[in-house]
Structure 1
Amino acid sequence: MAQRIKELWQHWQKDFWRLFRFGITGTLCSLIHYGIYCLCLLFTNTTIAYTAGYGVGLLCNYGLTTYFTFKGKPTKNNVAGFVGSHILNYLLEIGLLHLFLWMGINKWLSPILVMVIVVPINFVLLRLVFVKGKK
């Protein structure tokens, strides 16, 4: 019984710190994504601006997620899983962005609302790629 409690505690600690590192990674990459979006929005439409920000954020996100959040190394499997999860993530984000714009929420606030909703979903998808993929 004591051994099982110890194992559960260690597992919880590992997940807590992984989630904490994901928060740092997600915040930094979201700021980069939003910054690029705002810059591009000055001379293009919201879809192109959001896509450009997403692309730059994606590159940053892969490096930080691999090395910092999940303390791993790039592999064919995690690259494929990362890209696959981010295709789903992008479609969800661009859909929510346009939904918020359609609802009348302004183009500067909409991406922030999108990220608040989608970041937790992205963590679950990436956890499947980086943690379940190791087993």
Structure 2
Amino acid sequence: MREQLGQIFRFGLVGGVNTGTFFGIYLLLHPWMPYFLAYTLAFLLAMVGSFFMNTYFTYRTKPTWKKFLLFPLTNVTNYVIQSAGLYALVTWAGMDTRIAPLVAAVVAIPFTYLLSRRILVPGAGRAARTEEPEPSPSARSTV
């Protein structure tokens, strides 16, 4: 349980660093290209950075091609949950549109954490259900 709390804390730190990285890259690229291209490139570069930060720092595991290819699912999940939450908070709860995106983002964090953990930590989903230990480091393939 203590390790999982550490992972949650590190996940939050990586999220903050990743948001700053994304915004910094966007601001650097924006003067040189159309804003949406700058946004897209910044998003993709930040996602690659997020993959490696979460792999090495948050979950302390080795990267693999499979994990790298599955990792964008965490961003899709985050977007869907935040979008649905934003709509619900504004439409049904009458929340201010300036505040609702922040609340929706906070609500999405646990879902994104659990999915990223399942993708990046070998056996995390199975171990949570059956209490099996993770595979040994020698059983993991690397990028």
Normalising by structure 1, we get a TM-score of 0.61
Distance (whole Å) between structure 1 residues aligned to residue 68 and residue 51 of structure 2: 8
Q: How many residues align?
A: 117
Counterpart of 1:7 in structure 2 is none
For the Cα contact (< 8 Å) 2:10–2:57, is it kept in 1? Answer: yes
- Which residue matches 1:90? 79
Could you tell me which of 91, 94, 97 is aligned with 1:105?
Answer: 97
1:110–1:61 distance in 2 versus 1, CA, 3 Å: farther
Q: Cα deviation per residue 1:92-130 (whole Å; 9 max; x = unaligned)?
A: 33x248626776613xx5543332121221101011112
2:108 matched to 1:122? Answer: no
Larger proportion of helix = 1
Q: 1:64 aligns with which of 46, 53, 66?
A: 53
**Equivalent residues in 2 for 1:1-135 (5 A)?**
12-33=1-22, 54-93=43-82, 95-96=83-84, 99=87, 105-106=97-98, 109-131=99-121, 132=123, 135=135
Q: Alpha carbons of 1:104 and 1:37: their partners in 2 closer, same or farther (altered >3 Å)?
A: farther
What is aligned with 1:8?
Answer: none
> Any conservation in 2 of the 1:34–1:111 contact (CA below 8 Å)?
no
RMSD: 3.7
> Under a length normalisation based on structure 2, what TM-score does the superposition of the two structures give?
0.58
Decide whether aligned partners of structure 1 residues 61 and 35 sit closer, same or farther in structure 2, where only a CA change above 3 A counts. same
- In structure 2, do the counterparts of structure 1 residues 20 and 104 end up closer, same or farther at CA, with 3 Å as the change threshold? closer
Q: Report the alpha carbon displacement of residue 78 of structure 1 after superposing the two structures with TM.
A: 1.2
- Structure 1: state its 5+ residue gaps: 1-11
